């Protein structure tokens, strides 16, 4: 049975928190990938950002979240949700949108388990770890290529 180390891509394209969303979109498009790991200055994995994060960013603010009546503002949702919506709406860098604590697998994780994770959690870019060090990445295309190849 194949495991993560058999199908992972070892040349991992990464971005940092400061990477602009425009640059991120160009990376995803030019490399035909769905997402990339976010690393800190030491190259340690701190999160992941995917196409879906960019798509969500472009979604219009969900209205009505606030109603003003006689100069009083009434929140129809919890203010924390509102704040998140506004942050996403004004995001300009990876740091504004990336997912912290990404789902990861280790090199020995079997591919049927990886397929299950992707299907159940709707996550299509999974970093492969050796302890605390990222050694590869598995995208949906890697899995499909393996299953159909």
**67: pLDDT confidence band, cut at 50, 70 and 90?**
very low
The residue-averaged pLDDT of 116-140 equals 94
Helix (H, G, I), strand (E, B) or coil at 86: helix
Residue pLDDT, tens place only, 14-43: 999 999 988 998 898 899 898 999 999 999
Domain boundaries, the chain: 4-148
Q: Quick count: other Cβ atoms within 10 Å of Cβ 144?
A: 12
8 Å CB contact between 114 and 140: no
Mean pLDDT score across all residues of the chain: 83
**pTM for this entry:** 0.76
User: Which CATH architecture fits 4-148?
Assistant: Roll (3.10)
The residue-averaged pLDDT of 83-109 equals 81
8 Å CB contact between 139 and 125: yes
Helix (H, G, I), strand (E, B) or coil at 109: coil
**53: pLDDT confidence band, cut at 50, 70 and 90?**
confident
8 Å CB contact between 75 and 85: no
């Amino acid at each position: 049975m194949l495991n993560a180390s058999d199908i992972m891509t070892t040349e991992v394209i990464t971005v940092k928190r400061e990477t602009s969303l425009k640059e991120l979109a160009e990376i995803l498009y030019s490399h035909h990938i769905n997402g990339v790991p976010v690393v800190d200055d030491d190259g340690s994995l701190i999160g992941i950002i995917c196409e879906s994060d960019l798509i969500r960013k472009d979604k219009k603010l969900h209205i009505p979240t606030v109603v003003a009546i006689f100069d009083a503002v009434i929140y129809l949702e919890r203010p924390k949700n509102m704040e998140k919506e506004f942050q996403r709406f004004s995001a300009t860098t990876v740091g504004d949108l990336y997912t912290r604590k990404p789902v990861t697998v280790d090199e020995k994780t079997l591919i049927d388990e990886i397929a299950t994770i992707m299907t159940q959690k709707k996550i299509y870019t999974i970093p492969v770890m050796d302890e605390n060090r990222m050694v590869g990445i598995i995208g949906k295309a890697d899995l499909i290529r393996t299953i159909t190849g």
